[in-house]
Structure 1
Amino acid sequence: MLVAATFISCVWAAKNLAVFHAKPSLDFLDRVLNSDGTVRAKSLHLPDILTFDDQTHILIWDGDDAQLDRMRNHPDVAHLESDQIVRIQPFNTKTAAIGIRNAYRELDVIEPVKTAATNSTIVTQTNTAGWGLPRIAQRNLPIQKQYTYVSSAGAGVYVYVVDTGINTAHRDFGGRATWGTTTTAGNVRTDDNGHGTLVAGIIGGTVYGVAKNTSLVAVKALDKDGSGTVSDMLYGLQYVIQQKQKNPSRKMLANLSLGTKKSTALNQAIEAMARAGIAMVAAAGNGNDQGIGQNACNYSPASSQNAITVGATDQYDRLAPFSNYGQCVNLFAPGVGVTSTYIGSTTATNTESGTSFSCPYTAGIVALLLGESQVNMSPADILSNITSLATSNVVLGLGSTRSPNLLAYNG
């Protein structure tokens, strides 16, 4: 699979994506892809078919106009589209890798308080770096410089970070970050951009993270420039769903801090992931080229009806001007001036802004919920819980955006 993924990444502009609701036969593919319409040796030059479940099969191939016409006119093809670029979703990126040194002092624990659902205690972290963690742990401003959370902290939950990779050696991950797969060209097995590491730290870092005991798995679908393709994404998502198929009882979710123009193929894959019981948390996106927020329903994966889509706010609970908005957004979370783990060393940090970083705050809360749950909650149950927990009517500046006035809260 990695060989095919590498080839596809190198020639992305020539690729096509076809969505089927029933797996196409090899005879069908031969007839469609060969100019004379005849069946040839089925082992030669056939494209990749990614099967997500019995309802979603996506064909990825390089095709000419004649092949496209034959594919387009075939009744078994539910949707046909061209591959397109997918990008990370930071805004006003700053690069400043520094040591965290004193941030690694022992976390403080308040007098143990049993939670209703489990034997977890409530923990208070007083060495918070930045405002994001404290904000999701309190209902109202002003922000207190502490973060409270259940001591289970996402233990037993796997979060698949579909991004640029993770600096798995970073001290803040405490050995809980591992490499899953790479679907970009070159089979690079490191985060050569930094974005994915920053995202992973917000989800599950010991100091910077929401769910401090969760397991983090790198799925590298974006390159050193923070770019990939929808097809790269599809290979990454197929890897994630395969992990669920191999481990049906595993509590797991995926974080998608990236975006592209609306893609039916990508959205269909996400819907299949939800049917498999995998929660998908997506960035709402960072607007147009001028950094002005747009309708999230025009982008993927933000527009997927089965994604938990997250917009960005600042430390004053104002809608970030770059944040996408609208009815496809489920809630908002901190996304301006967010500090987390980075690349370059085992203690590096960075501060950035974007819906890319609102997304992992919410993914971390999902991990907390799954860790505390006595059953493997469905994605629909998770969305209901996340929105029910959220703080209502504190986000400023939503105006006529038709967005829900909900701010992420860790319960």
Structure 2
Amino acid sequence: MFKLNYFALLAVSLPIFAASAASPSKLVQTDTSNFVENQYIVVFNSAANAMSKNAFKAQLAANADSLVNKYNVKIKLRFDDVLNGVVVTADKQQLTQLLQDENINYIEQDQYITLDPVMSTKAVQNNATWGLDRIDQHDLPLDTNYNYQEDGSNVTAYVIDTGIRNSHQEFGGRASSGYDFVDNDNDASDCNGHGTHVAGTIGGSTWGVAKNVNLVGVRVLNCSGSGTYSGVINGINWVNNNAAHPAVANMSLGGGVSQAIDDAVNNLVSSGVTTVVAAGNSNADACSFSPARAVQAITVGSTTNTDARSSFSNYGSCLDVFAPGSSITSAWYNSDNATNTISGTSMAAPHVAGVAALYLDENNSLTPAQIDSLVSSRSTKNKVTNPNAGSPNELVYSLNDNNLAPQVEYRAHVADLGWLAWVEDGATAGTTGQSRRMEASQMKLVNSTMQICYSAHVANIGWMTPVCNGAVAGTTGQSRQMEATKVWLNNAPAGCNIEYRAHVAGMGWLGWAQNGAQAGTTGQSRRMEALQAKLTGNCN
């Protein structure tokens, strides 16, 4: 299981000064021991949207220079967009002086963030990986297919993480480096794996949700998965300054409560970048972690392939949606065709980031707030078991059902083989050339309010009672051959037809029947071996 270590802020043993008429700054204190010694994030009073961009940057520079001149602190970083602040190194005496500066809104001690080692499992992808398979359908069982209406080709996804292996075959030249804030250069290559895995889920050609999205790596964590909140904010700031719109950002990372990183994320969203964050892997309230608690971000919890909340997943009212996060296969960093299967809300978040890219490709004028609303309104409701107190019972859904053509899906129960895989729209369910009897069938419609009903003619029984919408027609466990079928639609629009045909022993494929007519034979003791079905005409 992949997990994130969460570290809150150190409770610094310094006094909090009483408010004066000048509204002195506030030292944000929480309860961690994983602080960066003598390093603080200082946020000034002026809001980023209170003036023009150039004026804002000029004021920030003046404020930073003032700190150096008045308190002799060292400025390590300046955030000129998503946060009206700087990172300074200061001793206790200098910190005491900073706390009295009326131009400072709050001060927060910087902290480290570290990724735990990734746990891998062996996996073989059969058609679509389960996570992709889950997000394009409302109900279980999975059908092994991943359907998509858009591919994200007009969208850029920013992966704020450990970097990306841009040359990986999953990306087909669509991945590039933004900036590396670990080595301070333009090569954001991944030497950890986490960022490449996340990018593969967002936009890999095999493992990805949005299969043609542009991917940009912003490296804020080193080869061991370690970094600081100030470094992460620096990456957020870079995305804010450089984003090619429409854009999404993914942050599969987190730590203890941090007003600074929450503010930075919220400001990135306000700039027009839909931002998706992991809820965290502590099996705790996501509102106790940042940036999971950032109000404007889309915060994602994790589910298993049975729609249960993953045992590690955080939960609660700060969550926006759940997505597949347990045992997710994606690209890996150590070769151009490497894969790994890992778990975590880090794996759930990029499913949602990919879906956001699909929504933006569908309509590139959507705002982050509208994307957030669509994620909720289109989600699959009330399927997650044990979502825990306060969590929305919503599972991300990738399709726009209003734009989907209806499809018929069906499968066959075959002697000695049991139930075969679901197929759709004219494909063969059952076997041919193997002399195996078909014993039962199931049929269903997707993307439709119509009802599909069907009946089976079974040896020594005759026509059985009709069933509808996924129920079993025929018999299982009785060694009885199915000989014919009838299929029809209820509530179908004028001009919409269901056509179907049977493959019969000694006869092969018979002609197409439609709308309740018989396909197959009766009274000849000939086994039905396979079935094909399709919708024709105007069925929308």
Structure 2 length as normaliser, TM-score?
0.62
Question: In the alignment, which residue of structure 1 is the partner of 2:511?
Answer: none
Instruction: String of CA shifts for 1:351-385, please: whole Å, max 9, x gaps.
Output: 00000000000000000000110x42211111001
Match of 1:127 in 2: 127
CA distance in 2, matches of 1:216, 1:28: 35
Deviation at 1:76, TM superposition (A): 2.0
Residue of structure 2 in register with 1:62 after alignment: 89
**Would the alpha carbon gap of residues 165 and 31 (structure 1) be closer, same or farther in structure 2, given more than 3 Å must change?**
closer
Match of 1:18 among 42, 64, 69: 42
Work out whether 1:268 is the aligned partner of 2:263. Answer: yes
Q: Note the alpha carbon deviations across 1:300-353, whole angstroms, 9 max, x for none.
A: 110100110000000000011100000000010001110011112111100000
Q: Give the distance between the partners of 1:302 and 1:240, measured in 2 at CA.
A: 19
Q: Between Structure 1 and Structure 2, whose CA radius of gyration is higher?
A: 2
Structure 1 residue 277 corresponds to structure 2 residue 301: no
Q: RMSD over aligned Cα, in angstroms?
A: 2.3
SS in 2 for 1:173: coil
CA distance in 1, matches of 2:171, 2:343: 21
CA shift, 1:48, in A, is 3.0
CA, structure 1 residues 69+30, in 2 after alignment: closer, same or farther (shift >3 Å)?
A: farther
Q: 2:173 and 2:362 mapped to 1: Cα distance?
A: 22
* 1:254 to 2:249 alignment: yes
Task: Show the 5 A alignment for 1:89-104.
Answer: 93-94=119-120
Question: How many angstroms does 1:275 deviate by?
Answer: 1.3
1:363 aligns with 2:358: no
Q: 1:120 corresponds to which residue?
A: none
Output one character per residue of 1:82-127: Cα deviation in whole Å (capped at 9) or x when no partner. 1112234x7862277x9x9xx7xxxxxxxxxxxxxxxxxxxxxx82
Whether 2:208 is the aligned partner of 1:209: answer yes
Which residue of the partner structure matches residue 166 of structure 1?
164
Q: Offset at 1:160? A: 0.3
Say yes or no: does 1:326 pair with 2:316: yes
* Amino acid aligned to 1:409: Y
- Aligned equivalents of 2:204, 2:279: Cα separation in 1: 23
User: In the alignment, is the contact (CA less than 8 A) between 2:188 and 2:218 conserved in 1?
Assistant: no
User: In structure 2, what is the equivalent of residue 142 of structure 1?
Assistant: 141
Matched with 2:384 is 395
| Aligned match of 1:347 | 337
The answer for the alignment partner of 1:404 in structure 2 is 392
Using the TM superposition, give the Cα deviation of residue 189 of structure 1 relative to its aligned residue in structure 2, in angstroms. Answer: 3.5
Equivalent of 1:71 in 98, 119, 142? 98
CA distance in 2, matches of 1:303, 1:322: 17
Q: Which amino acid aligns with 1:262?
A: V
CA shift for structure 1 position 46:
4.3
Relative to 1, partners in 2 of residues 1:157 and 1:29: Cα closer, same or farther, differing over 3 Å? closer
User: Contact 1:91–1:352 (CA<8 Å) still a contact in 2?
Assistant: no
Q: Name the count of aligned residue pairs.
A: 353
2:78 matches 1:49: yes
1:198–1:340 Cα contact (<8 Å) kept: yes
How do 1:73-88 residues align onto structure 2 when only pairs under 5 Å count?
73-88=100-115
Secondary structure of the equivalent of 2:358?
helix
Q: State the match for 2:225 in structure 1.
A: 226
> What is the aligned counterpart of 2:293 among 284, 294, 303?
303
2-structure distance, mates of 1:223, 1:329: 28
Question: 1: CA distance between counterparts of 2:60 and 2:134?
Answer: 52
Asked if the contact 1:32/1:70 (under 8 Å) is kept, the reply is: no
- Tell whether the 8 Å contact from 2:279 to 2:314 is kept in structure 1 after alignment: yes
Which protein is richer in strand relative to its size? Answer: 2
| 8 Å CA contact retained: 2:36, 2:109 | no
Instruction: Report the alpha carbon displacement of residue 16 of structure 1 after superposing the two structures with TM.
Output: 0.5
Deviates more, 1:179-188 or 1:256-265: 179-188
What is the Cα deviation at residue 32 of structure 1? 3.9
SS at match of 1:365: helix
Higher RCO (CA 8 Å, separation ≥ 6 residues): 1
CA distance in 2, matches of 1:213, 1:388: 25
Q: Which runs of 5+ in 2 are unaligned?
A: 1-34, 47-55, 400-540
Contact 1:58/1:265 (8 A) holds in 2: no
In the alignment, is the contact (CA less than 8 A) between 2:75 and 2:87 conserved in 1?
no
| Structure 2 CA distance for partners of 1:134 and 1:348, relative to 1, 3 Å | same
8 Å CA contact retained: 1:182, 1:221: yes
> The residue matched to 1:94 in structure 2 has which SS?
coil
CA distance in structure 2 between the partners assigned to 1:25 and 1:238 by the alignment:
14
- Cα 1:28–1:215, aligned 2, differ >3 Å: closer, same or farther? closer
* Distance across 1 between alignment mates of 2:284 and 2:355: 26
Shift of 1:33: 4.2
CA contact (8 A) 2:41 2:110 kept: yes
Q: Which residue of 1 aligns with 2:499?
A: none
Identical amino acids, percent of aligned pairs: 37
For structure 1, the 5+ residue unaligned runs are: 1-10, 104-125, 288-292
Cα distance, 1:184 vs. partner?
A: 1.1
Say if 1:160 and 1:240, in contact at 8 Å, map to a contact too.
yes
How far does residue 209 in structure 1 lie from its aligned partner after superposition? 0.3
Matched, 1:384 2:373: yes
Corresponding residue for residue 152 of structure 2 = 154
Whether the 8 Å CA contact 1:390–1:408 is kept in 2: the answer is yes
> Is the Cα contact below 8 Å between 2:74 and 2:89 reproduced in 1?
no
Task: Name the CA distance, whole Å, in 1 between partners of 2:202 and 2:74.
Answer: 41
Mapped contact 1:91–1:286 kept (Cα < 8 A):
no
Distance in 1, matches of 2:193 and 2:268, equals 26
Q: CA deviation at 1:13?
A: 3.2
Question: Structure 1 residues 136 and 233, CA, compared in 2 at 3 Å: closer, same or farther?
Answer: same
